[in-house]
Structure 1
Amino acid sequence: MAFEGLTEKLNAAFKRLRGKGRLSEADVKEAMREVRLALLEADVSYKVVKDFVGKVTERAVGSDVLDSLTPAQQVIKIVNEELTALMGGTDSRLIMANSGPTVVMLVGLQGAGKTTNGAKLAGYLRKMYGKRPLLVACDVYRPAAVEQLKVVGGQLDLPVYDEGQGDPVKIAENALRHARDHGNDLVLLDTAGRLHIDDALMDELRRMKTAVRPNDILLVVDAMTGQDAVNAATAFDEALGIDGVVLTKLDGDARGGAALSIRAVTGKPVKFAGTGEKLDMIEPFHPDRMASRILGMGDMLTLIEKAEQNYDEKQAKKLQEKLRKSSFTLEDYLDQLRQLKGMGDLSQIAGMLPGMGDKLQNATVDEKALSHTEAIILSMTPRERENPDLLNASRKRRIAAGSGCPVVEINRLLKQFEMVRDLTKQVSRGRFTGFGGMGHGPGKKKRKKK
């Protein structure tokens, strides 16, 4: 995940500050030198780093901080506030049309992820706001670009408007008429990109902007390109005028500098962030929450939102009744693991837990283990899922053959399930005292959520 290296280095600097009862101006400046190096290594632009460290140092060496009872915490608070301000301070939302379809124009260099993230954004807005999106294939140059949009649109059950080859500007105009006629209140234009910025590309985008008058022009940039992403944002804004940025591949090995630099350099906000390859892995960009994640403080608001999106009220009531009767089964266990998987990448979820993110991010979260668990349980008969005590050696060998997992994994799963079942009995009898005895990560989170 992006920012892991930055988070580690910042926490190391702050740990040294917390180890001192009182701070001197020299202590603060030494810590700020480490912060400066950490930000530069994260590929934040030099000017942005210089201004940021200057602001933090000016505030941190004041008497209000150095004379306080918890000066280290005050310094961290200032860093948190300045990081939030650096990334825009407040959330920036899409500009919606007062009447007629809202038109969002997606622009960017080739390979940044416009097509995939356009579909992700459409799916997100449909799910969260009840929008009726229309994806429009305006990239008539890249081989298979239209087909790619149809594929991702089909996976999300989204309509796609295309005319094959032709003038992209005319296609955009016709798509807008089509949206009005068919009740689509959101139109996303997937435009062409180039390997570099050129006059032909910009001229076509300017003509499209004039023709359809988009409510929002979003530049899609790859976070893994570092300062090149910031340079692309500057160039597109000067030539076309953009309203915001979609930052993709924040789940990769990106050092994160683009997220911290774009607003400061271009004045344009990051509005959305792509956090994984799956088509539901996109989220609004919250500067305050991102600053909290960077400093290892977690992000409980986003974690709660993810849980609510995957919350099944009917299943929850059914599970509550089973807990009351102490009849928790392997089928219930599987349902809870599936809900956990639906919340997204487990290492990202770990990073949202306050005080635990840095520990859990450094651990390997084995996503395959959940798939193995699912395969094992699905290889059992309904009767075996209801009563695991039936699983003798021959039944386990049959399940191993059906799931492709060794018997030792089946035994491990049954032991973990027993721990969870014992815990549910404690909960149902009102004797639950905490999760200290549990060693199974997903089970722990699952029970914690309930």
Structure 2
Amino acid sequence: MSGSPSQVPLHDLVRAFGRVGLISFGGPAGQIALMHRVVVDERKWLDEAQYLRALNFCTLLPGPEAQQLATYVGWRLHGVAGGLIAGGLFVLPGAAVILGLSILYAYAADLTWVQGAFFGIKAAVLAIILQALVRLARRALDTGLKRGLALAAFGLLFLFNAPFPAVILGAALIGALFAAAPVTEPTPDAEPRPRKRDMAWRTGRAVAVWGAVWAAPALAILLVLGPDHVLMDIAAFFSKLAVVTFGGAYAVLAYMAQEAVQTHGWLDAGQMADGLGLAETTPGPLILVTQFVGFLAAFRFPEPFTPLIAGILGAGLATWMTFAPCFLWIFALAPWIERLEHARRLQAALSGVTAAVVGVIANLGLWFALHVLFDQTRRVQTGPLDLTLPLLAGFQPVALILAAVAAVALIRFRLGIMTVLAGAVAAGVALQAVA
């Protein structure tokens, strides 16, 4: 429990999480299952109870829970060095692939066959979001209060363009006040718990060190390029994003997409859907789509750099500001894992957030559908209402058909995401060729 070096050789940790990082396709559920097989079933580094306690702890934190779980396993086995190795290897392969695909996208998106491929990807992304919505709703909406929170979150976001952090905070407060949360009995652990004073000292030190590490690139940009440069905007935006990403990647994508598209103008809605499709096809956390957004933002406003150099800097900065906080949360709070997981109010707040996330994902799906199924949309602002509506003349029935076929393949026939994406890409290229 202490995060001190164990009997597990460091090279075994490197080998195991290098493998996980290369084959961790399938989103958080698949990645968590893969790590369970490696860490619990094959290597027996943690037992079932320890793994579940760690997973429950990571769901309480902002950010990608699968990457944080990898970091925690590494921390438990080899301290900070192990956490950096396991968490880093979980992210780096996918980040390298996304960077390469972002560069290819920036320079080749105007090619006819590429346009066809991304037409298919956009349609498949709608089906993927629908599948995530159905799965989460079945699991999370088991009471009338939770269904009400989901509906309220959807209405606030779609009809009134309410701030995403405010919606999540409100759901957490309502959950803590009213939602029922089961009281889990503590599980005995052979290892003694460290003293609270020692844990507090380690937590404070981790916050100070990793807070400085997190902020260092933003400070360097501020000193060299000033507060108005696009890289400073990227640093500020993704720092804020890192502390409100409760509920998984899909929960925050709507907020990120709307801010990046409507507020900052870094990319358009179609490009945002393309980025999500690319992230679905690569290993690592889905939230690596932030790297795609950071690349295009800096690529579009490159001065004083070349577009390619600016794009690479923007991608690296977005990735840093997204994932550096994950190490902070783990290294600062992991010593408290057993005490945190039995906090009833905290568990109740999490249940409220999870319910609201269903409405958030529904808003994300509708937002993407409006921009994928219609050529144009319009923003309507009347009194408190602030919503986006489609122009019906621009309806694209072929996109709807592709999305429907992809949804049936995923939900009814349970085909893998990679298979469905490959089929959608092939269909999009074929349709473009015919056109």
Q: State the TM-score, normalized to the length of structure 1.
A: 0.21
More contact order relative to length (CA 8 Å, sep ≥ 6): 2
| Structure with max Cα Rg | 1
Q: State the TM-score, normalized to the length of structure 2.
A: 0.21
Normalized per residue, the structure richer in strand is: 1
Normalized per residue, the structure richer in helix is: 2
